[in-house]
Amino acid sequence: MSEKTPKLRAALDGVPTYKPGKPAAAGGPVAYKLSSNENPYPPLPGVLETAVAAAGAFNRYPDMACTGLMAELSERFGVPAEHLATGTGSVGVAQQLIQATAGPGDEVIYAWRSFEAYPIITQVSGATSVQVPLDDNEVHDLDAMLAAVTERTRLIFVCNPNNPTGTVVRRAELERFLDAVPSDVLIVLDEAYREFIRDADVPDGIELYRDRPNVCVLRTFSKAYGLAGLRVGFAVAHEPVAAALRKTAVPFGVSQLAQDAAVASLRSEDALLERVDALVAERTRVAKTLTDQGWTVPESQANFVWLRLGERTVDFARACEQAGAVVRPFPGEGVRVSIGETAGNDIFLQTAEAFRKEL
């Protein structure tokens, strides 16, 4: 037998692995998972029933064109169906976007730290990441991002609100940026946490995309709509981009369960958005308590908060876990803590209070 192993693309060397948020240990002392920015509410009964009904036909392939979901999204957001593309979560759509725009020799710009999938999907495509540090307030530095644009730039991610800091870019600065970027560079507004925004000065990307052919908006059913386990997200973009997304999609990637549950969720939006309101109220409580304890917390418009703990990050995460809440450490930088069930949030807050006293 030959000693040789299959030849793999050199671009894969050193690709960082995606670290999923740690699960809450089954049967152990840990009870609350605050590590993946999930929705802590269980599925709405009507949505669950719809998904269960769809499960009865999973011997069949799903509707590849997601016809029903496209029609529902088109009406809900007031966009032509040709401007929509779906994928296996918005991370799947983000990967399709890179495949459609960038390869070896091309550059993809994004803020750092931001969503950890960006470096992975960029490197897998063979393109080069250009990471632009967040400013001192943990916010996208749009001027620096603009200055980073070169002839090789193909795509720019603007994560709004930003994961993991929860910070936002506001209307005037974002519009100025969009208008300054060359029109042949695609700007992707990743709005995975859009529904949690309460700052009226943060623009809705779907309004910004309408008269800007190089702007694409990413949304997901994973967060506010509570369908993280079903994997469905979508993009809103003008036709050449949306059409390219359909070409780069994995055929039949979005299951019928996911399609039907997404439609049912859109039809149950009022009930889901009430839950989002409750999570936002909880976010306000968590942020205020932390500030009262003496922490500096960047204002979050998402379903998580960020504590820049530097060298103490891993110790803090361990203390939270011992107390019963799993958070998401970024060693040497900080922890991201999802807003979860009140009792879980309280465990985090009590740990933060005790930790603060030690600092």
Ligand X SMILES: Cc1ncc(COP(=O)(O)O)c(C=O)c1O
Q: Name the token pair of 103.
A: 């390869």
Please report, as ranges, the residues that interact with ligand X according to CB under 6 A.
Answer: 37, 89-91, 115, 159, 163, 190, 192, 220, 222, 228, 233
Q: Tokens 């840990």 correspond to what residue?
A: 30
Least distance CB 5 / ligand X (angstroms): 31
Complex with ligand X: residue 190 or 260, whichever CB lies closer: 190
Least distance CB 163 / ligand X (angstroms): 4
Least distance CB 114 / ligand X (angstroms): 7
Least distance CB 222 / ligand X (angstroms): 3
Tell me which residue has its CB nearest to ligand X.
Answer: 89
Q: Name the token pair of 36.
A: 């993946």
Count Cβ atoms below 10 Å from residue 278 Cβ, excluding itself.
Answer: 14
Complex with ligand X: residue 91 or 181, whichever CB lies closer: 91
Phi-psi region of 294 (alpha: psi -120 to 50; beta: other; left: phi over 0): left
Least distance CB 349 / ligand X (angstroms): 23
Complex with ligand X: residue 115 or 295, whichever CB lies closer: 115
* Rg of the chain taking only CA atoms, in angstroms: 21
Complex with ligand X: residue 162 or 289, whichever CB lies closer: 162
Strand partners, 132: 111
Complex with ligand X: residue 157 or 355, whichever CB lies closer: 157
Complex with ligand X: residue 220 or 351, whichever CB lies closer: 220
Complex with ligand X: residue 37 or 255, whichever CB lies closer: 37
Least distance CB 132 / ligand X (angstroms): 16
Least distance CB 7 / ligand X (angstroms): 30
Cβ atoms of 279 and 306 within 8 Å: the answer is no
